[in-house]
Amino acid sequence: MTPLELATADGARIAPSNASSAFDIQGMTVSYGQKPAVFSVDMSVPKGSMTAIIGPNGAGKSTLLKAALGIVTPLAGSVRVFGAPLDAGRAKIAYVPQRASVDWDFPTRVLDVVLMGLYRELGLLRRVRKGHIADAMDCLKRVGMEDFADRQIGQLSGGQQQRVFLARALAQKAELYLLDEPFAGVDAATEAAIIDVLKSLKDAGKTVIAVHHDLSTVPEYFDRVFLINTTKVAEGPVGTTFTEANLQTAYGGRLAGDQFGNAAIGG
Amino acid sequence: MLWQALGLGLGYNATLVTLGATLLGIAAGVTGTFLFLRKRALVSDAVSHATLPGVALAFVIMVLLGGDGRSLLGLMLGSAVSACIGLLCISALTGRTRLSEDAAIGAVLSVFFGFGIVMLTVIQGMSAGRQAGLESFLLGSTAGMLFSDAVTIAAGGALVLAGVVALRRPLSILAFDPGYAAATGMNVARLDLAIMGLVMAITVVGLKIVGLILIVALLIIPPVAARFWSEKVTGVLWIAGLIGGLGGYIGAALSATAPALPTGPVIVLTLFAMFALSMLLAPARGVLAAVIRHLRFQKQVHLRQGLLALAQGQPIYEKLTLRLLERAGLARADGVATEDGKARAAKALRDEHRWQMARSREDFALAATYYDGLTEIETVLTGDQIAELDRLIGAPKGVPA
């Protein structure tokens, strides 16, 4: 099934009434200027799974996530979260943006960043109580950052910044976690800590979707893959979908052959 | 005279102006904080310049309606409308063309201001209305400020302040991480518009006292100065309000001491003085603190390197190192270690070996991340752990004399 066959003239499509689906994207097309960055992409992620979004640089991995969350406005496409429209399902989503997307010299402490995760609960005016702070500290503990609660965020290393972002997402007590390159430029200890947290989320029945760039760790970290290069290349369980043929299609000649052999199933 | 002014003892008008300027300063400082944190300080400059055509048009309309065209409320309304149009022009230019925001700001600012000046010149030639003094909106004019003007300014400032305080939570999240804010379901465009709306309100309220050219200083200098003192959004917010209020108060009082001193510019200069003091003296982020920190760090590095050189019997060529060692009583002027220096050098070398061992072992991986060549190993590892490292290294090595 090629993605082009999925596109219809008017873009109208009937969402699959899949009750066990956590996150559905239908016909997502995003364009910066005239050239589509993401073209007519469908995605269907079952509840309780861990999915890696992979593809070459500039393939639209991050853009797909951002468009699905309404951070950038798509040209076309719809999103359903646990069967409900996006805005009804927002409370169930926690998003972890790319670490480099913010200015870390912002005047705020680690704990304050985590407390941002409670915004939906706190609203405009409700006061931050001891219970909220205890919740936030708990999330910091889960990523091993409880000793840094009072630190100014500018003093953190890259890996520590990433953990704080993850703690903020945990504070939202979401059902669906969308992470944009959570392992980019972090130290080995942080990578291990993050994957531990993500696996514990999965064990608790949560759904995890992460943009990922390191092909060698895909089978170890994730149970599903989603390959994209502007259009969708393939989606499914790692065992059947993370194949040399699919990687070849997604990456073209941009990876050396032996890298496929190391990473892909049956390579 | 100054003390009299600061004690609000210089008469009715001066007191009115001083209180108005204080309130305006507080509200502008607090509002400007989010503008500064969102890195959109320059937009306020465009907004303020875009008020001028509105002031002129409002005057014309009020004259045509039979008034004398000098109602402050009417002029404020007019300026708000044209500031809005200016804002919309900027967002249309950045949203629908490939122009960057700074180019759009430059275009809107100059065109609106130019149009406003033309309108003012035309009005000067009109026979109807009391057009004299309209140009005082450029740089502000507090002579002849009425009680009702002061009430308008105070009420407007208080409303804006309440708006900012109510929105501080979403605005903080937006300023720090717009992508996350959008993903949480906040309407980013509307929040940005809210910031701009509040900034516009401050501009309009401040026209009478500081004028449209200098209002940007009241919005931006207080948060920039406050940032030197605080590492928290709420801290920056309140300190910016304090600095803005103090600047307004002291500046207005100063200008009241001499009849020829213009209020707006004196307030701006007062704010600048507070900015300069903050930049120099703030404890964590100030320039002096940074210089002192750098010198102290440099000394630490030189001492440590000097000790390691002494321990390994290497000659020390760097004069600063030698001087620091000598001053600390660790070496003589000719570079020979004193008794004290020998002991310290041996310890430095031993700790260096311990660190190297810790960094090569996986079970010390976490501690090893603290290694920077300067951190004392005792502050990171327990006595038992250090003993374990020593065991791994083997017998202590002798130090060459």
Write the pLDDT tens digit of every residue in A164-203.
999 999 999 999 999 999 998 888 889 999 999 999 999 9
Task: Compare CB distances from B179 to A71, A93, A103 and report the shortest one's residue.
Answer: A71
Is the pLDDT at A85 greater than 70, yes or no?
yes
- B382/chain A closest Cα distance in angstroms: 18
pLDDT at position A15: 46
Q: Which residue of B has its CA nearest to A111?
A: B232
What share of chain A has pLDDT > 70, as a percent?
Answer: 87
pLDDT tens per residue across span A74-84: 999 999 999 89
Crossing angle of helices B188-206/B41-49, nearest 10°? Answer: 50
Is the pLDDT at A43 greater than 80, yes or no?
yes
- B162/chain A closest Cα distance in angstroms: 12
pLDDT at position B4: 72
User: Which chain B residues touch A71 with a CB distance below 8 Å?
Assistant: 179, 182-183
Q: Tokens standing for B165?
A: 């305080």
- Which ipTM did the prediction report? 0.86
Is the pLDDT at A234 greater than 50, yes or no?
yes
Is the pLDDT at A12 greater than 50, yes or no?
no
Closest CA to A81 of B239, B185, B198: B185
Cβ contact, residue pair B176, A108, below 8 Å: yes
- CA triplet B79, B81, B85: central angle to 5 degrees? 115
Give φ, ψ of A224 to 5 degrees: -130, 155
B218 close to B209: Cβ distance less than 8 angstroms = no
pLDDT tens per residue across span B180-191: 999 998 999 899
Cβ contact, residue pair B170, A124, below 8 Å: yes
Cα A157 from chain centroid (whole Å): 21
pLDDT at position B207: 86
Chain B interface residues (partner A, CB cutoff 8 A):
37, 39, 166-167, 169-170, 172-173, 175-177, 179-180, 182-185, 227, 230-233, 235-236, 365-366, 369
pLDDT at position B377: 85
Task: Compare CB distances from A95 to B169, B180, B369 and report the shortest one's residue.
Answer: B180
pLDDT at position B132: 64
- A116/chain B closest Cα distance in angstroms: 7
pLDDT at position B400: 59
pLDDT at position A18: 56
Task: Compare CB distances from A69 to B167, B183, B230 and report the shortest one's residue.
Answer: B183
User: Which chain B residues touch A106 with a CB distance below 8 Å?
Assistant: 37, 175-176, 233
Task: Compare CB distances from B176 to A87, A95, A106 and report the shortest one's residue.
Answer: A106
pLDDT at position A102: 92
A47, amino acid identity: K
pTM equals 0.82
Cβ contact, residue pair B167, A122, below 8 Å: no
Residue A16: partners with Cβ closer than 8 Å, 6 or more residues away: A24, A44
Residues of chain B with pLDDT under 70: 1, 5, 9, 127-132, 395-401
Q: Which residue of B has its CA nearest to A118?
A: B184
A145 touching B (Cβ < 8 Å): no
Sheet holding A176-180, edge to edge: A93-96, A176-180, A207-211, A50-54, A224-229, A231-237
A239 close to A264: Cβ distance less than 8 angstroms = no
